[in-house]
Structure 1
Amino acid sequence: MSSARKRSEPRKVTKQPQPPRRLQVAALCYKETKVGRKVLLITSRDTRRWIVPKGWPMKGKDDHEAALIEAWEEAGVSKADIEEEPMGYFEYAKGLSSGATVPVEAQVYMTRVRDLKQSYPEVDQRTREWFSPDEAAELVDEPDLKAILRTL
């Protein structure tokens, strides 16, 4: 009888500690057109999924400045007006070269593109394309980024 009682008792579930989220900075690049706002997406280097330019904060740079540097390196944005405060955040799991993933929270900075160059550091590693905000929201994987795009 005591073994039956043991089986029916609720088991304690212990939560595994989650690694802390790492911070990235992202540039949500857009332009105004005759048919409405367009958003610039790029492909990731490894999985080729659609994303916004983003990267790690940079020593000696404010976060919005680092986001603008990422927009240049990854998408060829050579002239832009970027907001100094993030307009939102999204979370995702960043794959590392070791095969592990780390949780990341990306701060999103609105970036009005004034000029794009055809030659830029990662031109041979990524594809870039303009989409309506609704189209862009359908293409990205991250739910919070989808929500941000749908608010534009």
Structure 2
Amino acid sequence: MPSKISRRSASTRCRQCAALPLSQQDGETLVMLVTSRETRRWVLPKGWIEKRISAAAQAAQEAYEEAGIRGRIGKAPIGTYAYAKRLDNGVSVPCEVVIYRLEVETLLDRWPEMGERERRWFTLEDAAAAVDEGDLGSLLLGLVSPQAA
């Protein structure tokens, strides 16, 4: 059965949702990133927006599946970023990702994609440098507290 993305036309703009997993440690805000399956780039846990549940709930589900995180997800998006999603056939299509803040409450020892991805805590500044998407990096830097700047 073809995946959702392989059934999309190259002219269709993809829409995804992402969790921005945040935690406080010693007065500093940390963000968890995961590696993508194929390119091993550092990314936010994300997935397709589905009609049957809210985008915020879907983002929380992706954080569980991809990073083993449970927590409180924000109801309203805090921003968006765009990237080029590579399809199974090698064609790239523009994709918009809506981001929801996730306050991490539990970090699980076992989760569905633990054998497929690496997860790591980053400072906001280090996360901004680690991601390839400039808009996402800017959003991360915008979360740095004025006292830390």
- TM norm structure 2: 0.87
Instruction: Provide the residue aligned with 2:85 in structure 1.
Output: 94
CA RMSD of aligned residues (A): 1.1
Q: How far does residue 22 in structure 1 lie from its aligned partner after superposition?
A: 1.4
Q: Aligned partners of 2:27 and 2:130: how far apart in 1?
A: 20
- TM norm structure 1: 0.85
Q: Could you list the runs of 5+ residues in structure 2 that have no partner in the other structure?
A: 1-9, 144-149
Q: Aligned partners of 1:98 and 1:123: how far apart in 2?
A: 26
Q: Aligned partners of 1:19 and 1:99: how far apart in 2?
A: 14
Runs of 4+ in 1 over 2 A off after TM superposition: none
Matching of residues 116-127 of structure 1 within 5 Å: 116-127=107-118
Equivalenced residues, count: 134
Instruction: Provide the residue aligned with 2:41 in structure 1.
Output: 49
Q: Aligned partners of 1:25 and 1:84: how far apart in 2?
A: 12
Q: How far does residue 35 in structure 1 lie from its aligned partner after superposition?
A: 4.0
Instruction: Provide the residue aligned with 2:57 in structure 1.
Output: 65
Deviations 1:43-96 (A, max 9, x none): 00000000000000123100000000000000001x211111110000000111
Matching of residues 71-150 of structure 1 within 5 Å: 71-77=63-69, 79-150=70-141
Larger gyration radius, structure 1 or structure 2: 1
